[in-house]
A and B are shown apart, each in its own frame.
Chain A
Amino acid sequence: MQFGIFSVGDVTPDPTTGRTPSERERIKAMVAIALKAEEVGLDVFATGEHHNPPFVPSSPTTMLGYIAAQTEKLILSTSTTLITTNDPVKIAEDFAMLQHLADGRVDLMMGRGNTGPVYPWFGQDIREGINLAIENYALLRRLWREDVVNWEGKFRTPLQGFTSTPRPLDGVAPFVWHGSIRSPEIAEQAAYYGDGFFHNNIFWPADHTKRMVELYRARYAHYGHGTAEQAIVGLGGQVFMRRNSQDAVKEFRPYFDVAPVYGHGPSLEDFTDQTPLTVGSPEQVIEKTLKFREYAGDYQRQLFLLDHAGLPLKTVLEQLDLLGEEVVPVLRKEFAAGRPADVPEAPTHASLLAAEQNKEVVA
């Protein structure tokens, strides 16, 4: 099982000091957080993609390429790559390029983006969001798998005799996850292709995540990629830890109370009761995270959101120490226990390449 972190990349004032980091500071902090993730033994770093303030990561492959140069093992991913407003040709090229630079330590997660104005800024319309995700991704897959593509669709200029360069590393396309909070169409899309399905599992009650994951698993089996239990599932999660749980609550509350998205809403206690958020000791984080399996089944990837709401870099790095030293080693052991042997790990470049070579040998 893979463990990692995902970042939204928001520039938010620290509510306890009123200080807002500069964009440069925030971008460099995201890099420092990614490097720390590798240092403490995590497997994945994923960055969001946004094209509006107060967010900084508009150019994920630039950032991930820079991180790739300074890491050895970390898988570089996205949370999410906007399959609706990006040109699929540019996604194909950018991520193939990153694959070569990072020696294959790359996968990505498709998302639609829910900010209406971003669509027209890129010549699109949010009302076509699902259709854009379907058509653009169908093209993206072909660009990675076919050397010469002739294509015509609804949303993009046609392609005649087009070759996306560079070709994917070793001829193997990066593994793709599809992220969606509430659109069954996207779970269906992920299942159809046998791709991974990721639920951010942060803002909504667990019950909702369960229904989305169950739908994906059932449809994955329907399309003959394996049993429902073998489908590739990723979950998010959000934690804030201190050794003593009272300290965690006390320190996190001012950030929680005014946080973007859910701030000025329910109390910290109500929100932790109703959603997967855990604020407490490493033991409490372990306990709650292990419960995800009860509603999502044995899954492949767990990403945590740690750096948001104006938390200072120093605090986030301390969170990573706790996650790497005290939480993830226990989670690895506990999640492995009782996991059926035929539930696969999340695909990596190495495993996809081996599968490809196997196919050739058999043929």
Chain B
Amino acid sequence: MKLVVVSAGLSVPSSTRLLGDRLAAAVGRAAEVDVQVVELRELAVEIAQNFTNGFPGRALAAAQEAVAGADGLIVVTPVFSASYSGLFKSFFDVLEPEALAGKPVLIAATGGSARHSLVLEHALRPLFAYLKAVVVPTGVYAASEDWGAEGLDGRIERAAGELAALMAGLSVGRGPRAVRADSFSAVVPFEEQLAALRPTG
């Protein structure tokens, strides 16, 4: 199965990326996955240009394809101004509308203090619900102090286990739906389009 980590961390090294890596490793212990990491920092300019041009540049297009083709996603953002970062949101703003439909997603965030931990519930979960993703019950928030405290490991393992189970379940059950619908190969015959508009009775 293919697991993609989307990290919106900005510094190098970044605690956001570190959390993403730990979550991916934990999923890897629970299921057989190929992991690909999408660093949004490297795509920042192309994301901005997608807003001005209407189409993605080459690297962004490749990242979008990876995300759309993944069996599961881990998305990690730093908390900025009490929410996900603008860069994080922007990446999902320029994704094709149905790209995440039915896809298992593990939400995670990092912050300077534990006061923002509910950002997972009031910002990330509604965003991915809107995008029609299947969000795993456990989100993982890591404040600075968590990196030296007990508890983070346990939350990582639980969330990763939930994601792995969901990915395995959906991968078995999904069949053809796992292949992203392509509007070019699935054109509605014109007679059907016309018929739908004909007055009835």
Contacts and interface: CB of A to CB of B under 8 A. Distances in A.
Interface stretch (A17-25, A130-138, A246-254, A351-359): A130-138
A274 B184 contact: no
Interface string A77-120: 00000000000000000000000000000000000000000000
B47 to A, nearest CB: 11
Majority SS at the chain A contact face: helix
Interface residues of A, number: 33
Contact of A204 (B54, B188, B191, B198): B54
Best-surrounded residue of B57, B187, B198 (most CB of chain A within 10 A): B187
B197 A215 contact: no
Given A266-B49, A270-B57, A215 B187 contact: yes
Nearest to B196: A131
Given A131-B197, A265-B49, A208 B188 contact: no
Nearest to A218: B187
B188 A185 contact: yes
Given A203-B54, A263-B52, A266-B53, A189 B197 contact: no
Interface residues of B, number: 22
Contacts of A266: 49, 52-53, 57
Interface in A271-307: 271, 274
Contacts of B51: 265
A51 B190 CA distance: 29
A134 B184 CA distance: 18
Interface in A45-60: none
Contact of B193 (A185, A208, A214, A215): A185
A130 B46 CA distance: 30
A266 B53 CA distance: 8
A262 B53 contact: yes
A262 B187 contact: no
Best-surrounded residue of A154, A184, A261 (most CB of chain B within 10 A): A184
Interface string A142-170: 00000000001110000000000000000
A262 B197 contact: no
5 contacts: A134-B197, A185-B193, A191-B190, A203-B55, A264-B52
- Per CB-CB distance, the 7 closest pairs between chain A and chain B, nearest first, are A265-B52, A192-B190, A265-B49, A266-B49, A135-B197, A204-B55, A184-B183
Interface of A: 130-131, 134-135, 138, 152-154, 184-185, 187-189, 191-192, 203-205, 208, 211-212, 214-215, 219, 261-266, 270-271, 274
Interface of B: 48-49, 51-55, 57-58, 183-184, 187-191, 193-194, 196-199
Given A131-B197, A152-B199, A266-B57, 19 more contacts: A131-B196, A134-B193, A135-B197, A153-B197, A153-B198, A184-B187, A188-B188, A188-B189, A188-B190, A189-B190, A204-B54, A208-B55, A215-B184, A262-B52, A262-B53, A265-B48, A265-B52, A270-B49, A271-B53
